[in-house]
């Protein structure tokens, strides 16, 4: 038995391939200009919780030549296995001495893995985005890579409840016994930990803190801060250097206590007024 096919049915059937062709047209997506390669360090410098350095190699798609003079940016998002997400501090990105290669520094809050979650790294270059999923190992040894402090000015009420915009104080490299030095990188969490602001004099933080007009970072190997107190020097963009620490011995594990005062308010481990053991962050370090 034959079925009658109406003229408009034939027209619709003919039109289907044309509709599909329009949806797959290459003109719908602008061609990419840059190719981005993620070049993590290896060995002892492989990506790990805490300070991590890596390179981005950016070339032109047209001829493979190095893409120089760019201002790439990086955002990192942790997709935790429990469904939560958060970002992590990203430091400056600068072009290296090799054309088209850019040096990057980030400070990972946590490792990745099946029990933890996945880091998603988006690299933006002139409106183009390239996505990577870096593997990040756990910090090894007894030395802690970061600590947190916060105060009443950092406790905010949101639609989801109370949020704590903490100061994340990262160990910025190894301590030096011969120089009595400890370098720190300080970042302030914003927007439910989806953004981080490097903290130095003049930095502008989210409400209610606002602009930082005074900031004191101090450290000592004496928890009472009665002797050997080192006052931090603001090296800008969240970097602080402290020198003059006593009792640092090469290859010997030592505890360093760090205090933070911002706009006249002492930051503590629990957000309450400073009193005893809550008045400082604790760093276990093994100096070089």
Residue 30 confidence (pLDDT) = 64
CATH for 233? 2.60.40
Residue 121 within a domain:
yes
CA-to-CA distance for 83 and 78, rounded, in angstroms?
A: 10
Look up the domain containing 194 and give its range. Answer: 146-285
Residues 185 and 96 in one domain: no
For residue range 10-66, what is the model confidence (pLDDT) as tens digits? 333 334 333 333 333 333 456 789 999 999 999 989 999 999 999 999 999 999 999
**Chain-centre distance of CA 75, in angstroms?**
8
Count of structural domains, the chain: 2
Q: Which residues touch 42 (CB under 8 Å, ≥6 apart)?
A: none
Query: How high is the pLDDT of residue 208?
Result: 73
Secondary structure tally for the chain: helices H, strands E? 1, 21
pLDDT in tens, 148-191: 999 999 998 888 788 899 999 999 999 999 999 999 999 999 99
Q: 127 with 151, same domain?
A: no
Under the banding of pLDDT at 50, 70 and 90, the label for residue 9 is: very low
Same domain? For 183 and 115 the reply is no
Whether residues 204 and 167 share a domain: the answer is: yes
Quick one: how far is CA 203 from the chain centroid? 17
Residues 114 and 221 in one domain: no
Determine, yes or no, domain membership for 233: yes
3 in a structural domain = no
Q: Domain check: are 38 and 103 in the same one?
A: yes
Do both 94 and 120 map to the same domain?
A: yes
The one-character DSSP state at 176 is: B
15 in a structural domain? no
**Does 261 score more than 80 pLDDT?**
yes
Query: Of the residues 101, 132, 163, which one is the last residue of a structural domain?
Result: 132
CATH number, position 105: 2.60.40.10
Output the pLDDT for position 29: 57
Q: Are residues 121 and 167 in the same domain?
A: no
């Amino acid at each position: 038995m034959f079925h009658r096919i109406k003229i408009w049915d034939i027209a619709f059937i003919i039109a289907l391939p044309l509709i599909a062709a329009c949806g797959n047209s290459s003109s719908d997506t602008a061609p990419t200009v840059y190719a981005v390669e993620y070049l993590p360090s290896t060995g002892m410098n492989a990506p790990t919780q805490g300070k991590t350095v890596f390179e981005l190699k950016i070339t032109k798609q047209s001829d493979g030549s190095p893409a120089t003079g760019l201002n790439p940016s990086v955002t990192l998002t942790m997709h935790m296995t429990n469904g939560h997400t958060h970002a992590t501090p990203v430091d400056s990105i600068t072009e290296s001495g090799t054309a088209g290669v850019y040096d990057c520094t980030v400070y990972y809050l946590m490792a990745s893995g099946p029990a933890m979650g996945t880091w998603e790294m988006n690299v933006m270059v002139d409106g183009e985005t390239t996505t990577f999923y870096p593997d990040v190992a756990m910090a090894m040894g007894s030395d802690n890579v970061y600590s947190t402090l916060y105060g009443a000015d950092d406790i905010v009420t949101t639609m989801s409840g109370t949020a704590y915009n903490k100061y994340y104080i990262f160990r910025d490299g190894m301590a030096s016994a011969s120089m009595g030095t400890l370098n720190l990188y300080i970042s302030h969490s914003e927007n439910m930990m989806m953004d981080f602001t490097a903290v130095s004099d003049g930095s502008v933080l989210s409400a209610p803190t606002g602009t930082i007009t005074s900031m004191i970072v101090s450290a000592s190997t004496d928890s009472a801060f009665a002797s050997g107190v080192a006052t931090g020097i603001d090296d800008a963009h969240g970097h602080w250097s402290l020198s003059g620490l006593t009792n640092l011995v090469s290859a010997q594990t030592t505890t360093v206590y760090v205090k933070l005062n911002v706009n006249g308010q002492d930051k503590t481990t629990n957000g309450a007024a400073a009193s005893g053991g809550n008045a400082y962050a604790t760093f276990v370090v093994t100096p070089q």
